[in-house]
Amino acid sequence: MTIDGCLPVVATPFAADESVDVGGLREIVELNIGCGVDALTCFGLASELYKLDETDRGLILDTLMTATQGRVPVIVGCEHSGNRAAAHRCAQAAQFGASAVMLLPPSFTIPAPSSIRDYFLRCADACDVSVIVQDAPAWTGVELPVDLLVELHEEDERINTVKLEAPPISEKSRLLREAGMSVVSGYGAVHLYEDVTLGSIDGFMPGCAFPEVMVRLWSRATSEDRGDFAELYERILPLLIAELTDLDTFIEVQKRALVMRGLLSSTTCREPHRAVAADRWRYLDRLIENALALGKKVASDDIV
């Protein structure tokens, strides 16, 4: 699979009792596919992956694959602290029909480079689909140097993409792309303008709540003259900055926007989580409303 374009990370919706909201998950899928995303990503950090058990994962994968019906590729996060368990998850994802898997390095204990190498190679062997290495040292505490990433690609061409989440990424991206790897960015799309301007990325993984805006941003970013890319980015930027206060805030903002869209009935996050302060919602709701209004204008071609 060639991994590029707008690849939103699907939030995991929960009912008030913290059970998986299957109907809400289907609604998120339909919204994003209808807006023209290039793929969907599940079990990313913004999916609350670290709060899901194996039964949850099976239910979500089955629901997601059934809902997508092959209309877009699905990228599945599969990391685990153990090589055997991560490889099992990769095999499961491939059996469900995933087009690619994405893995953070193991981080419960900081592994040696040789252990990181063995982990990714074993996972690639388990699934025979494209493998995305998620480089997020602020989250994992694990550094993934360029030479290690290139070595992985040279040993197994299925390990063909790196998701860089330690901005600025331009120099690392240049070296990886020169070695034949693709690069996608995360970090809530807050650095998208820099990444596009410096030619650093082949795609990006935003949240899933504002796909009209995110798809249009990528369309403009990849057009010859980039059109109103800067204007669109500047209009959504206040929200991108605010929701990145911390991961819990990002997740809750995404869910609140989906509730405001009428797609979810609850903003429930599984515990533990750090809730957004009540008085801050007055500010955040205004930003969400502005982003939703921008999405409506984009969808109706009021912005050209």
Q: What is the pLDDT of residue 300?
A: 87
Name the DSSP letter for residue 109: S
Q: Mind listing the pLDDT tens digit for each residue in 141-196?
A: 999 999 999 999 999 999 999 999 999 999 999 999 999 999 999 999 999 999 99
Q: What is the pLDDT of residue 114?
A: 95
Q: Mind listing the pLDDT tens digit for each residue in 182-208?
A: 999 999 999 999 999 999 999 999 999
**Residue in the block written with tokens 């209009």:** 235
Sequence spans of domains, the chain: 5-299
CB neighbour list of residue 178: distance below 8 Å, 6 or more residues apart = none
- Averaged pLDDT for residues 232-259: 97
pLDDT exceeding 70 applies to what percent of the chain? 99
Q: What is the pLDDT of residue 304?
A: 45
Report which residue type is found at 24.
G
Is residue 38's pLDDT more than 60? yes
Q: What is the pTM of this model?
A: 0.96
Q: What is the pLDDT of residue 194?
A: 98
Whole-angstrom distance, CA of residue 65 vs CA of residue 182? 25
Parallel, antiparallel, or unpaired for β 74-77 and 40-42?
A: parallel
With contact defined as beta carbons under 8 Å apart, do 124 and 93 qualify?
no
* Topology of domain 5-299, CATH: TIM Barrel (3.20.20)
Q: What is the pLDDT of residue 72?
A: 98
CB neighbour list of residue 195: distance below 8 Å, 6 or more residues apart = 169, 170, 173, 185, 201, 204
**Helical (H) or strand (E) element with 65:** helix 54-68
Q: What is the pLDDT of residue 228?
A: 95
